[in-house]
């Protein structure tokens, strides 16, 4: 999503507006006609792209979980054998910050609407998220070898909570600017990991 540089497809436009509207008014507070109007097509025209709102929600939440995992794997592959673990951790943090700043409605959707997914879709989201967390845990333990696995996993979840707080930071001009916000979030994330790493814990 945030990493694309080419023009979005109609399907991606629909998903973006659906995410925004669902986050603002709740899943049940938005009709198909409103989503269609936001992208300049009739409500029924959406059914050429999606079976309905449930399908849109599933693609949004499963999709972003998959994109985060794929992006993190790509960053690790690009860094393999070239940079140290500190730089890899910084790269992972930067990637998650991009998501947290550019896809804020999806954070709100995940918090509010995950339970609306079918069991199979919800399990897929959880599976992708577990893989994403474990990838981070491995890198964090390389940077802080004295940090036990359970403590490292707790630290990763805590940092995600910090970074995913962006929907609560205010709207529009309330933020100090994307660059400054990204820098602050990065410093806070590294500070949280450093604090966790300062406590030597059993493996």
The Cα–Cα gap between 60 and 9 comes to 15
Phi, psi of 118, rounded to the nearest 5 degrees: -60, 155
21-46 pLDDT per residue, tens: 999 999 999 999 999 999 998 877 88
CB of 56 closer than 8 Å to CB of 50: yes
CB atoms within 10 A of CB 103: 20
Phi, psi of 93, rounded to the nearest 5 degrees: -60, -45
Q: What is the pTM of this model?
A: 0.88
The tokens of 45 are what?
């025209």
The per-residue pLDDT for 113 is 94
Longest dimension (CA), the chain: 59
C-alpha to C-alpha distances, 195 to 84, 87, 123, 146, 150, nearest whole angstrom? 20, 18, 32, 12, 15
The Cα–Cα gap between 103 and 166 comes to 9
Question: What is the DSSP annotation of 61-94?
Answer: HHHHHHHHHHHHHHHHHHHTTTS-HHHHHHHHHH
The per-residue pLDDT for 6 is 62
The Cα–Cα gap between 35 and 49 comes to 12
Banded model confidence at residue 168, pLDDT cuts 50, 70, 90: confident
66-112 pLDDT per residue, tens: 999 999 999 999 887 667 899 999 999 999 999 999 999 999 999 99
């Amino acid at each position: 999503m945030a990493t694309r540089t080419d023009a979005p497809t109609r399907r991606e436009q629909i998903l973006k507006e659906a995410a925004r509207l669902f986050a603002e008014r709740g899943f049940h507070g938005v009709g198909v006609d409103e989503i269609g109007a936001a992208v300049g097509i009739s409500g029924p025209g959406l059914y050429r792209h999606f079976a309905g709102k449930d399908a849109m929600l599933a693609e949004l939440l499963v999709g972003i979980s998959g994109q985060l995992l794929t992006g993190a794997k790509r960053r690790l592959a690009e860094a393999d054998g070239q940079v140290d673990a500190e730089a890899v951790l910084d790269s992972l943090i930067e990637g998650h910050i991009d998501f947290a700043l550019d896809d804020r409605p999806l954070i709100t959707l995940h918090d509010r609407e995950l339970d609306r997914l079918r069991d199979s879709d919800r399990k897929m989201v959880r599976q992708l998220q577990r893989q994403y967390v474990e990838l981070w845990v491995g890198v964090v333990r390389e940077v802080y070898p004295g940090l036990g696995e359970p403590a490292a996993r707790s630290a990763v979840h805590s940092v995600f909570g910090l970074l995913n707080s962006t929907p609560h930071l205010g709207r529009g001009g309330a933020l100090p600017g994307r660059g400054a916000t990204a820098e602050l979030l990065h410093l806070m994330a590294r500070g949280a990991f450093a604090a966790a790493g300062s406590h030597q814990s059993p493996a």
